[in-house]
Amino acid sequence: MSHFDRDPILLTPGPLTTSLATKTAMLRDWGSWDSHFNAVTARVRERLTAIINGAASHVCVPMQGSGTFSVEAAVNTLVPRNGHLLALVNGAYGKRMARLTEMMGRHLSVVEAPDDQAISVADVTRALDADASITHVAMIHCETSTGILNPLPEIAAAVESRRKGLIVDAMSSFGALPIDAAKTPFDALVAASGKCIEGPPGMGFVFARRSVLERSAGNSTSLSLDLHDQWQYMEKTTQWRYTPPTHVVVALDAALEQYRAAGGQAARLARYTANYEMLVSGMMELGFRVFVDAKLQAPIIVTFHAPADSKYVFKAFYDRVRDKGFILYPGKLTQLETFRVGCIGAIGPDEMRHAVNAVRDALDELGIKQIAPRAVRAA
């Protein structure tokens, strides 16, 4: 049973721990067609677009639902029905993007890399040069299943030089890692409210190149996920097509104001980096080993090898850590037993230090002594 009367700290990649000001913003009810709420929607769209320096070239189209809803909307709207998409896969979310592309009837090819390796630009260019029918490339910037960072600027340059469209899933990177639409070319970049901006979950958004979105009418095979229709309706009426997540929108507006006041992207990255460094140094002192090489690791979420001790069972370990006030995340790999710890949310290095202490105490209580995986220790 928990010894804490406060909410646990979410060491997850979203939903995540939000500030009191963000929570408080959700205490008011809003009319979805009211002019005051429409003004909030417009402000959120403008503030989000400013983060990627995209006002001159891209428009922000918010969508109801989780981030995956917006990824599917982007692919379904921006890739023509006779288009051919090359999916870059080195984790579970790349596989999800490939699957949704195939399910909506678009022609699909895949470039795949191991879970612990970044996507190779050479492999991407080789695939593009070998098949002229490919019209679009889709990639994950920070693969949330492991925390690995893929080389977005280099891949974007290679795709642009071959005059293909690029769709980027930036769920776990937007707002923390630098992305500049004026320097890195993409047709669409997709993110969500409950990630590095530190809002609640329930709203995704797509930064779509205006010239591409204007030509995309009729591509979508879905009514609710038609990005072009959503954009056109908002431009004409300032309203959402269908019932919006009003509380999420106003809370995201509050989170964006805090984001701006705290120093924006650079400050957010600095805090998450400090969280990451505190977490990894503390966990390594306990004997844990990280899955991703430090040179490829984004300071967003860290995958750790599970302890090799026969007494280790993730659920029991999870429950002990949760009772001490921290929520961990299960692993997403199929070949190795791992677990993940997020570095994002309205938390700082002090919370990460306490989280490491909670992990240490949980290990002691469960009698777990063999921490490092045997294969790593033997090496």
Q: What is the mean pLDDT of each run of 10 residues along the chain (379 residues)?
A: 67 94 97 96 98 98 97 98 98 97 97 97 98 98 96 98 98 98 98 98 98 98 97 97 97 98 98 98 97 97 96 97 96 86 98 98 97 61
CATH number of 20-261: 3.40.640.10
Predicted model pTM? 0.95
Query: What's the pLDDT at 78?
Result: 98
Name the CATH superfamily, with its identifier, for domain 9-15+264-378: Aspartate Aminotransferase, domain 1 (3.90.1150.10)
Helix or strand run (H / E) with residue 309 = none
Look-up of token digits 């990630």? 195
Beta bridge partners of 329: 340
Tokens of 193: 């409210």
CA 289 centroid distance within chain: 23
CATH 3.40.640.10 spans which residues of the chain?
Answer: 20-261
Query: What's the pLDDT at 375?
Result: 58
Tokens of 326: 């921290």
**At 55, is the secondary structure helix, strand, or coil?**
coil
DSSP H helical ranges for the chain: 20-24, 35-51, 67-78, 92-103, 121-130, 152-161, 210-214, 227-237, 246-262, 264-286, 314-323, 349-366, 374-378
Query: What's the pLDDT at 374?
Result: 65
Distances (CA, A) of 174 to 196, 237, 329, 341, 344: 6, 28, 20, 18, 12
DSSP H helical ranges for 116-167: 121-130, 152-161
Tokens of 364: 């002691």
Query: Looking at the chain, how many residues does it have?
Result: 379
Distance CA 296, CA 316 (A): 30
The β-bridge relationship of strands 84-89 and 9-10 is: unpaired
Look-up of token digits 């990280």? 290
Contacts of 102 (CB under 8 A, 6+ apart): 108
Cross-sheet strand order for the sheet of 165-169: 58-64, 203-209, 188-192, 165-169, 136-140, 84-89, 107-112
CATH 3.90.1150.10 spans which residues of the chain?
Answer: 9-15+264-378
Helix or strand run (H / E) with residue 326 = strand 326-327
Distance CA 288, CA 303 (A): 10
Query: What's the pLDDT at 376?
Result: 47
